[in-house]
Amino acid sequence: MKKMFTLAAALVAVLTLNAVTTKKYGFVIDANPWNYETTAKSTTVLSGEITVSATSQWGEYKLSDKAIDMSLYKGYKVVYAAYNPGTPKDGKQGMQLKMEGTPETLNAYKDLPEDATEVTGDFKGTEGSITTFTLQAKTADASINIKSVSLIKHDGTEEEIHYGGVAWGCKQTGGTVLISPAPMPCEITYIGQWGSLKLASTDGKTATFAKGSGEVQAFKILFSEPTTIDMCVEADNDSKGIAWFNIPVGSTEFGFTIDETTVPEDVVNIYIKASKADAVYPSTVKFASIESVITSPTGVDGLKALKKPERKTAYNVAGQQVGKSYKGLVIVDGKKYVRK
């Protein structure tokens, strides 16, 4: 009997288990800041699956958003599909990888085979850097779907890189834009009311919340010095603010929670704003860190659906042995299943 109750308790515990994750945040710095100033910078990068289509012969697309250091990397790997080499022109057809570097002995080209789905290779040297790593079209109507681009380190491990974007003579569709936020600690000088900065996590995404998800997002903001102006946290939907949390003058830390009870609908962005018109501006706020602890209900996500009953001994939620015809939640060899 004790064993039956233990099994039942274990199943209930699993069904109510929550997943907990921690995120760190920085600021998205606008190209033309409104009512704030800072020397900090943020950038955006593109990753994921893209399609590159040539519009001119010899058009180029930058496969890397930065120079490639030969002391760190020895080669490359490009995974692709849906390759259209285009119409031959002047004996040329298809696409190739183009590499230019310092010294010039690093310069090289590598064709993309039509009958393959990936190409790998080594760079021509071990010193200096590749300053240009592009996909180049030999014809004006060539196109290709790039799944991923990775650099190969000297120990053989691979590191997926971000795209640099269109150089000239081609167009690109698809991909995922990620944000590289200004890191913490960060100084922001507010110069007027409603000067605002958007939060983005270090994994490249803005702070969001889905109504009905059951998530609880507990945020904590730490300041290096007490704040000198009234501020607020504003949670926005896709067009306006929907919830506000006031940060009083003199704060060295501030916490707020985004969940089903504090916001009326989906949150698309979270901002930190200067909130008073009569505050003394300019005023500098020194942010030390911004983090959140996100608790998400997992429910029965971990359960497996069986197409047919297990032959082994099975138990129900109460820990009682059940037969082959029993339908519903069962425990077999300590694992949970749903019999249908």
The predicted-structure confidence for 218-252, as pLDDT tens digits, reads as follows: 999 999 999 999 999 999 998 899 999 999 999 99
CA distance 97 to 61: 10
Q: CB-based contacts of 264: which residues, under 8 Å, 6+ apart?
A: 211, 242, 243
Collapsing DSSP to helix, strand or coil, 280 comes out as: coil
Q: How many CB atoms lie within 10 A of CB 256?
A: 20
Predicted confidence band of residue 203 (pLDDT cuts 50, 70, 90): confident
d(CA 141, CA 154): 36
Give the model confidence (pLDDT) of 104-117 as tens digits. Answer: 999 999 999 999 99
pLDDT of 319 reads: 64
Give pLDDT, residue 332. Answer: 74
Beta pairing, strands 304-306 & 314-315 = unpaired
Neighbours of 87 (CB within 10 A): 10
Which of 62, 114, 117, 109 lies closest to 93, judged by CA?
A: 114
Taking only the tens place, the pLDDT of each residue in 257-271 is 999 999 999 999 999
Hey, what domains does the chain have and what are their CATH numbers? 2-15+299-339 (no CATH), 19-42+181-297 (2.60.120), 45-179 (2.60.120)
Torsion of CA 136, 140, 145, 147, to 10 degrees: 10
Per residue in 64-103, pLDDT (tens digit) is: 989 999 999 999 999 999 999 999 998 899 999 999 999 9
Residue 41: Cβ within 10 Å count: 11
CA-wise closest residue to 53 among 175, 173, 137, 171: 171
Reported for 8-15, long-range contacts at CB under 8 A and 24+ positions apart, including other chains, are 8/317, 8/318, 8/319, 10/331, 11/317, 11/329, 11/331, 11/336, 12/317, 14/302, 14/336, 15/299, 15/300
Q: Taking Cα atoms as reference points, which of 159, 108, 150 lies closest to residue 131?
A: 108
Summary count for the chain: helices (H), strands (E): 1, 27
Angle at 18 between CA 14 and CA 23, to 5 degrees: 150
